[in-house]
Structure 1
Amino acid sequence: MEDLLYQFMNNFAFLILSAIGLAVIFGMMKIINLAHGEFIMLGAYIATLATKAGIPLLLSILLSVVGVGIFGLIVDRLIISRLYGRTLDSVVVTWGVSLVMQQGILILFGPSLETLSTPLGSISIGGSDYSLYRILLFVTAIVLLILLYLLFTKTTFGLHSRAAMQNAEIARSMGVNTNRIYSFTFSIGAALAGLTGALYAPTMAVSPTFGGGFLMPSFVTVIVGGANPLIGPSLSGGVLGVVSTGLDATWGTFFGRLGLLVVAILVIRIMPLGFSGLVEKLSVRKSRG
């Protein structure tokens, strides 16, 4: 039982941390960011290089968040700002950005970096050892969801963001600078991707293709969760975490990943707007009834 719970916590954290930056950008801006994996990779490189330079890991993680957030803001101002409202065009352009980033990192730093050691050690429960760092990742995912909920529901920025998401033209007519909101939102999404890369840098081999392992789970999580960047990842992360954990324990990792794709197909067929769309639809019915 402890093994299954630990595996679920590990899978849930991976899905949430992988998807949260992508969910924020897509949910608020309707931009499909195919460079999301490379933003994660950039965060891993910053954290690894900073830690190797003698900076404590926690500070290295903060540097990754700030660095990738600033990089995302620059990309938005130079490229993404011309794609607001052009969802399909954003796919092609961000794919190009991902190729440039991946090849740029390969040229600058080579095919791989020396891997960091996983901190904190392990704890023994019932004769089995469990990584404290991976348990911390689960706690971090929960805290991050709570902080994002507070940001988008309890602040002026969150109010303006939700207004721009629902109807940008009306928001602009009410004095909301939607372009500024979009720029800040893209920067937040990029910073969250950088956080993910930095957090997982001590657990995986860091290379220019580092972000590739995060891209499919993040897109599946966002598709299953739906457009709402708060409700969607929470529900889809929980459901997909259970599916992945069950299949991993029964048939192995390959079938666990395959199960995520099958669930995504079924959800798209049954609930085209994802879990968040279903929740919002039920809320409207309840308010009317």
Structure 2
Amino acid sequence: MTGAGLLNFGFEFVEIFAFIVLATVGLAVIFGMMGIINLAHGEFILVGAYATTFTFAAGLPLPLAMLTGVVLTAVYGLVLERLIVRHLYGRLLDSMVVTWGISLVMIQLTRIVFGNTAPGIGIPFGQLPIVDGPVYYLVLAAVAVGVLGGLYALFMWTEFGIRARATMQDEATARSMGVDTDRMYMSTFAVGSGLAGLAGALYAPVMTVTPEYGTGFLVEAFVAVVVGGASVLVGTVLASGLLGTVNAAVTNVAGTFMGQVAMLIAAIVAIRLMPDGITGVLADWRENRGESQ
């Protein structure tokens, strides 16, 4: 591979890795930590995108418009959790059906209220001088890494994170030790919702915002969650790295469509060989290694 080819591959990988991470991380928090299969995840992303585009069109600077999208999506998720989702914990199939219905309602309401398109936002920062692509994709990659680092710090190093993990692992014990588990569920769902809104806000400048906007994120998000396995952050990173590498390599040779096809084939093979995901394999390996010692 030539130097230009390596640069193009690197840029493709960075672009796809950032997309998968940002599309996945909100879903991973809600599913991996709370056991809710949120089929309305795309529409949470949609809320962030619409809030960003309309507040930007109203004159708000783009960073503040994006922050508005994140906050409004988190608030929307909070309200939805209080009204509906809180009754679905431990009811996996019910959560799928209800959130799917929410998804359909949100798409149609968006079309009725706002029409089929939203105001456009130009891609900021211009083009890269060497690789044929926007500088903004590098910014997205940096934000994706920052989000992963921030989540790790939140859930591993803070009292909130300790209480949240305790609630998800053993609710009864956590409650008996004084943890307000109801508040933990509510807060964690709001965090996952806000992360979905962040994805919608960040990609509003590079994707056409329509009522079906969120569906463009769903395949990568669910595939990455399943391939990654139970560990939210490690699974997201490893699955995004694996799928991003396959997608970037094939895209660089055969185009975007074939890159998507190759990524899905890689996901099918990974799920077949690793039913518990990449982190499940790592957990088994650590357990076997400990027993052997």
The bucket for the TM-score relative to the shorter chain is over 0.9
Maintained 8 Å contact 2:17/2:240: yes
Q: Tell me what 1:212 maps to.
A: 215
Q: Distance in 2 between matches of 1:184 and 1:78?
A: 14
Query: Could you say what secondary structure the match of 2:128 adopts?
Result: strand
Tell me how far 1:287 sits from its aligned partner.
Answer: 4.2
Aligned residues between the structures: 287
Q: Distance in 2 between matches of 1:137 and 1:266?
A: 28
Larger mean Cα displacement after TM superposition, 144-153 or 246-255 = 246-255
Which of 113, 122, 125 is 2:118 aligned to?
113
Q: Tell me what 2:271 maps to.
A: 268
Maintained 8 Å contact 2:228/2:279: yes
Q: Distance in 2 between matches of 1:212 and 1:35?
A: 9
Q: Distance in 1 between matches of 2:132 and 2:247?
A: 21
Q: Tell me what 2:62 maps to.
A: 57
Confirm whether residue 258 of structure 1 aligns to residue 261 of structure 2. Answer: yes
Tell me how far 1:285 sits from its aligned partner.
Answer: 3.5
Map of 1:14-163 to 2, 5 A cutoff? 14-125=19-130, 128-163=131-166
Maintained 8 Å contact 2:235/2:278: yes
Provide the TM-score with structure 2 as the length reference.
Answer: 0.95
Confirm whether residue 198 of structure 1 aligns to residue 201 of structure 2. Answer: yes
Deviations 1:51-110 (A, max 9, x none): 000000000111111100000000000000000111111000000111111111111100
Maintained 8 Å contact 2:29/2:192: yes
Tell me how far 1:265 sits from its aligned partner.
Answer: 1.8
Letter in 2 for 1:81: R
Q: Tell me what 2:227 maps to.
A: 224
Paired-residue identity, %: 47
Maintained 8 Å contact 1:123/1:132: yes
Tell me the C-alpha RMSD between the 2 structures.
1.2
Maintained 8 Å contact 1:103/1:208: yes
Distance 1:2 1:157, change over 3 A: same
Provide the TM-score with structure 1 as the length reference.
Answer: 0.96
Q: Distance in 1 between matches of 2:273 and 2:164?
A: 29
Larger mean Cα displacement after TM superposition, 54-63 or 173-182 = 173-182
Query: Could you say what secondary structure the match of 1:203 adopts?
Result: coil
Q: Distance in 1 between matches of 2:54 and 2:242?
A: 35
Maintained 8 Å contact 1:115/1:204: no
Query: Could you say what secondary structure the match of 2:129 adopts?
Result: strand
Q: Distance in 2 between matches of 1:267 and 1:68?
A: 32
Structure 1: runs of 5+ lacking an equivalent: none
Query: Could you say what secondary structure the match of 2:133 adopts?
Result: strand
Query: Could you say what secondary structure the match of 1:122 adopts?
Result: coil
